[in-house]
Structures are given as C-alpha cells and as structure tokens.
Amino acid sequence: MIHDLRRAPRQPVRETMTVTDAMTDVPMGQVGNLSETGMLLIAHVPVGENVLYQLQFPVSGIHGSETIDVGAQVLWHGMANTPGRVWAGLRFLTVSEAHLQALRAWIARAATQPR
C-alpha cells in the first residue's frame, strides 16, 4: 500500500489548466493534480530538480476563472508515458492569501465531484 505523506490532499484536475512561466510568459504544460501546497505539472518543456519558478494558472470559480500566481519549487521530475512530456512535483513556496482562498474553494468543489 502506498501512503500519501503530503500535508494537503491533492485533487485530480478534469479541466484544462495551462501553467505559464510568469517570468517569460511561456506556457510550460498542464496541471495534473492540485492542492493548496503544490501540484503535479505535466510539462512539455524541460524542468530541473530544485529549480524555482514563478507560475500562473487558471482555476474556475463560481464567478468565472481566476489566474493564480505562485512561487514554486520543483521537488522531483521524471519522463511521462507520453513522448516529450515530463512529470514534475512542485511545492508552492509563495501564494497570496486571496489566491490561497481561490485554491481552497476550487479544491473543495473538486472534492465533491465524482471521480
């Protein structure tokens, strides 16, 4: 049995959430799963372990979509099953209180949806 030791539960993402490097405005990939403390990034660009990024991605809310800004650290990465794709585990280092509340609201809604 595999035990998830994360502090915050991750929710699978069923919608398209494109992750963009906020410093270069270049799309990096898609969110695979999301919590208030991190994400699985399915990247189509190379990522390195322990690299720091300023990222943006949208979350849907009851009043439309909101762009979330985070500072994130790559904790691990590896080749995905799809050629040219990389999986990367990211930990959020900085996120504003307003964006944290938007993340929590999205996670709460996602947790109630059937898998």
Model confidence at 22: pLDDT above 90:
yes
- List the chain domain ranges: 11-108
For 51-101, what is each residue's pLDDT tens digit?
Answer: 999 999 999 987 789 999 999 999 999 998 899 999 999 999 999 999 999
Give the β-pairing of 64-79 and 52-61.
antiparallel
Confidence at residue 61, expressed as pLDDT on a 0 to 100 scale: 81
**Using an 8 Å Cβ cutoff, are 68 and 53 in contact?**
no
**pTM for the structure as a whole:** 0.88
- 15: which 2 tokens? 């919608």
Whether residue 12 has pLDDT greater than 90: no
| Whether pLDDT at 10 is above 90 | no
| Confidence band, pLDDT 50/70/90 cuts, at residue 115 | low
Q: How far apart are CA 115 and CA 108, in angstroms?
A: 14
* Angstrom distance (rounded) from CA 27 to CA 21: 6
Q: What is the mean pLDDT of the chain?
A: 91
pLDDT score of 112 = 84
- Domain covering 11-108, topology: Thrombin, subunit H (2.40.10)
